[in-house]
Structure 1
Amino acid sequence: MKRSKSLMFTLAMVPALSLALVACGGNDADGNNDAGGNDNAANNAAENTDDAEGNNAEGNGGNEAADGEAPEKPESLSMWVNDEESQLDAYEEIAERFTEEEGIEVEIIPYSMLDQTEGMSLDGSAGQGADLFFQPHDRLGDIHLQGLAAELELTDDQLERLEGYNEEAVTSFSYEGIQYGIPAVVETYALFYNTDLVPEAPETMDDLMDTARDLTDGDTYGFLMEATNFYFTYPFLTAEGGYVFAQDEDGVYDPEDIGLNTEGAVAGAETIQTWFEEDLIPTGIDGDIMNGLFTEGNAGMVVTGPWSIPEYESALGDSLAVAPLPEQDGERLSSFSGNKGWLVNYYTENEYWATELALFLTNEENSTTYFETAGELPAHTAVEIDDEFMAPIFEQTEYAEPMPNIPEMTQVWDPIGEAMEFISQGDDPQEVLDEAVEQIREQIAISGN
């Protein structure tokens, strides 16, 4: 298979290409890290490499439309859908539309998202895996190592349709410059606030800290967050130049270039440390403490995600509001995001039409249906979110950066989490982060990644 290097560069170039677009019927123009491999990884990857040319020569897994002609339509396609009732309901409705438009039946098979990679590793090569399966982007390293997903050979028409998707979400489903998936869902966090205490959301971090200092008194806090949890502290460690792993122009990560003890990361850690030194955030803060104080009306602002909306709305009613994270130095803070999307089974005989189905499932119209039914924010940026709480989170997704999808990321969480605990207790940020990065390097070396 031809490898699709630098997809986002290709997307940028599509409008300038004077090539006739391939006509693909039925698609309008709107249209926590478990990355360790298993014992089958090396064997599957080797088999995939050996089989690639053979599959394409027989017209099975290859995307013939990349050469200018869409392959014959199959009678049916199958997809593993996460076994949540609302998600199944949404995709049943959307799949019926695909059948109406393309004449291809779609079999929906309920299958826990977290079990699908194991199922595909066992059943894929035997021809029993679904044409499409659904995964979080941070499992892509494992999927790549096991050889479970097809390398997408996208036509110009398909690339043009992808321009309507969140760029970072698209890139999150590439690995070593190879595009493996079509993003469906984006998730991140934002600033939740109690309008009884904070009438308007702060625009900048300076505004936020001024409000925090004004409101913090005794058991009442102006601003709270899980300030030792790396998932939530990422915006502050990176705002002045810190980073996890360096990336090249194609978005490929360099696990040897770790930026969590750079001058920028240390400056962010020092800022977080001042919150504890000034007693703006209590030592030992965790999600339960934060949620309790906020729902009891004893915290003005918190950083959390959409999963907290039901509890918060029940407790605060009309006093609950949500906003994107504030700006720092004129730039919106970049939160971590977790994305989910559709991947094409490496062993499918219908790669082109499976890709078409993935694009159909996630286009503007169907992403709207999915959000309205399942409540998860779409990766397609043209969708209008008419929800007072979800709309600001959707806006924040435009500034979110996906968690790195390489296996080495599994070695980052614990050392940095422990480092933030020490920093909250007054230890020197530079020394602590130096030690954490050294530990990350050692663990990566031991793991063999």
Structure 2
Amino acid sequence: MVKSMKFLLLSFLMLMLLTLVACGGNDDASKEDTDGAVDNGVSEENDFDFEIVPEEGAELLFWSEGEENLDWAREMAEAFEAEYGVPVQVEEVNQEDAPERLATDGPSGLAGDVFASTHDRIGRAISAGLVLENFWPEEYEAEFMDAAIQATSFDNVLYGYPARIETYALYYNKDLVETAPITMDELIEVAKELNNEIDRGFLMEPGNFYFTYGFFGGYGGYVFGDNNTDVNEIGLNNEGSVKAVELIKKLRDEVAPGVAAEDITYDVRTSLFETGDMAFDINGPWAIQGYRSAGINFGIAPLPVLDNGQNPKSFSGAGAFYVNAYTPYPDAAALFAQFITSEESLLKLYETVGHLPPRLALLDNELIQSNPFAVAFLEQAEHAVPMPNVAEMPLVWGPMEAAVNEVWNNDVDIQEALDRAVNTIENAILEQQQ
């Protein structure tokens, strides 16, 4: 468990005193490793309560994502300075770029002390020792959604201070369907009937593994073993994964007969929904504004239950704040990361930007509960699986797309197609590890 630098120093002084009594020796203390990064390697478990206070003279640089977040970030910076007396400068740095910039700007002292990143981009920076662990892991594990904790952990160690979570859910056109289907069988039945009235009841890109993973996970398939951390174990050709592709094939036969996989793209299906020519769409919160602008009367619901009684385990993504390991003010930086992920701060972020907060205490907040779209996505997020943040994940997309499209277009045996995909992924991983 990460301790404050003051606690580390006190512990070291006590150890020095004992050493002097025992043998008269004396060692020099050092808070930094040879590269200048803060040493946060102490992981002793104990029941001591400790207080974190900002270092004397501390001042922070906060890399905040996106223009729409800057007003919130500046408000947080002012509030933090008012409470702790630590000035915080806000700089706009895209959360996709922050981890890469950290590799060069961290050692040179130019990086933000606290920065935002998506969970699938942070793994390399963590493995390179560029990020400090979360100072209060037990507190965050108790107060945040499991999916957000898993997503912002690396090798079972929590590094992030989660700020938002997103996944996909079922959009439905209320002018065509009164209520959302509860089960996938019901969705297929209704969509099949609507094919006689509109262009399509439902379309889904068969090879888009990001969206179809919900079926794989719901039937017991998985990408990597040990909660997506063991890349030497792949579960994408097991019995559950075969059942997932059987469902995708059923969607082809019942809802989209004769339509080639390459003819179903994201743009095609969103366009159909925007024109009122499709009743159902599986999509994320990023699609809301487009459908609103198109004047569609739509609702959003959790993904329909599978025929095994399980909820689809959609991929989820998490945005979080992280503390730069090279910060000269680790206590102040950790306090700021904690401050901006408090209930009050995350509720303000939701009000300002619309990011769904993963704090459990906010799930029943009146402001959030009054938004049925937010409720639907948060309910689905409770069934979601964080998209793996390991470096091997990019090797999965292509082979899985090829396998499912092969089944969709050519009726290739499902087990054979998935076996080939897994073999391709395994070989690519071995090559990358060499």
Instruction: Quickly name the TM-score band, shorter chain normalised.
Output: 0.7 to 0.9
Letter in 2 for 1:122: T
Match among 223, 228, 240 for residue 264 of structure 1: 240
Pairwise CA distance, 1:168:
1.5
Pairwise CA distance, 1:159:
2.9
> Match of 2:188?
209
> Match of 2:25?
none
Match among 295, 302, 307 for residue 324 of structure 1: 302
Distance 2:428 2:87 in 1: 47
Distance 1:223 1:152 in 2: 43
Distance 1:200 1:68 in 2: 52
Distance 1:428 1:54 in 2: 54
Letter in 2 for 1:260: L
Pairwise CA distance, 1:264:
0.7
Secondary structure, counterpart of 2:202 in structure 1: strand
Determine if contact 1:232/1:335 at 8 Å carries over to the other structure: yes
Pairwise CA distance, 1:316:
3.5
Letter in 2 for 1:377: L
Determine if contact 1:344/1:354 at 8 Å carries over to the other structure: yes
Greater Cα shift, 167-176 or 137-146? 137-146
Task: Provide Cα deviations, 1:14-64, integer angstroms capped at 9, x if missing partner.
Answer: xxxxxxxxxxxxxxxxxxxxxxxxxxxxxxxxxx8756898469x9xxxxx
Change (3 A) 1:152 1:124: same
Match among 374, 398, 418 for residue 402 of structure 2: 418
Pairwise CA distance, 1:348:
1.3
> Match of 1:397?
381
Determine if contact 1:227/1:420 at 8 Å carries over to the other structure: yes
Distance 1:223 1:338 in 2: 25
Letter in 2 for 1:96: E
Matches within 5 A, 1:360-371: 360-371=339-350
Residue 208 of structure 2 is aligned to residue 232 of structure 1:
no
Pairwise CA distance, 1:216:
1.9
Distance 1:266 1:209 in 2: 19
Letter in 1 for 2:425: I
> Match of 2:284?
305
> Match of 1:408?
392
Match among 169, 175, 182 for residue 190 of structure 1: 169
Secondary structure, counterpart of 1:445 in structure 2: helix
Task: Provide Cα deviations, 1:162-220, integer angstroms capped at 9, x if missing partner.
Answer: 52211211121111122211111111111000011111011122221221222222752
Distance 2:119 2:48 in 1: 25
Distance 1:351 1:166 in 2: 25
Match among 141, 144, 147 for residue 123 of structure 2: 141
Secondary structure, counterpart of 1:232 in structure 2: helix
Determine if contact 1:149/1:343 at 8 Å carries over to the other structure: yes
Secondary structure, counterpart of 1:277 in structure 2: helix
Pairwise CA distance, 1:126:
2.1
Pairwise CA distance, 1:312:
0.9
Determine if contact 1:140/1:406 at 8 Å carries over to the other structure: no
Determine if contact 2:38/2:325 at 8 Å carries over to the other structure: no
Unaligned runs of 5+ in 2: 4-31
CA RMSD of aligned residues (A): 2.6
Residue 351 of structure 2 is aligned to residue 375 of structure 1:
no
> Match of 2:79?
97
Determine if contact 2:176/2:279 at 8 Å carries over to the other structure: yes
> Match of 1:448?
433
Task: Provide Cα deviations, 1:79-132, integer angstroms capped at 9, x if missing partner.
Answer: 1111x2221111111222222222222111111222222221112112222111
Distance 1:363 1:290 in 2: 38
How many residues are treated as equivalent by the alignment?
392
Residue 258 of structure 2 is aligned to residue 276 of structure 1:
no
Secondary structure, counterpart of 2:268 in structure 1: helix
Residue 406 of structure 2 is aligned to residue 427 of structure 1:
no
Calculate the TM-score normalised by the size of structure 1. 0.81
Pairwise CA distance, 1:3:
7.4
> Match of 2:99?
117
Residue 142 of structure 2 is aligned to residue 175 of structure 1:
no
Task: Provide Cα deviations, 1:281-310, integer angstroms capped at 9, x if missing partner.
Answer: 632211111012111211111101111111
Determine if contact 1:177/1:252 at 8 Å carries over to the other structure: no
Distance 1:79 1:204 in 2: 45
Residue 59 of structure 2 is aligned to residue 81 of structure 1:
no
Secondary structure, counterpart of 2:201 in structure 1: strand
Letter in 2 for 1:195: K
Determine if contact 2:188/2:255 at 8 Å carries over to the other structure: no
Distance 1:392 1:216 in 2: 26
Distance 1:3 1:69 in 2: 12
Letter in 1 for 2:196: D
> Match of 2:17?
none
Determine if contact 1:187/1:377 at 8 Å carries over to the other structure: yes
Determine if contact 2:242/2:415 at 8 Å carries over to the other structure: yes
Determine if contact 2:99/2:122 at 8 Å carries over to the other structure: no
Determine if contact 1:3/1:178 at 8 Å carries over to the other structure: no
Letter in 2 for 1:118: E
Determine if contact 2:38/2:326 at 8 Å carries over to the other structure: no
Change (3 A) 1:419 1:402: same
Determine if contact 1:226/1:287 at 8 Å carries over to the other structure: yes
Secondary structure, counterpart of 2:233 in structure 1: strand
Secondary structure, counterpart of 2:107 in structure 1: helix
Determine if contact 2:37/2:130 at 8 Å carries over to the other structure: no
Determine if contact 1:337/1:402 at 8 Å carries over to the other structure: yes
Task: Provide Cα deviations, 1:146-168, integer angstroms capped at 9, x if missing partner.
Answer: 221113343xxx63255221121
Determine if contact 1:415/1:439 at 8 Å carries over to the other structure: yes
Secondary structure, counterpart of 2:162 in structure 1: strand
Letter in 1 for 2:101: G
Distance 1:316 1:406 in 2: 40
Distance 1:226 1:438 in 2: 23
Distance 1:54 1:387 in 2: 43
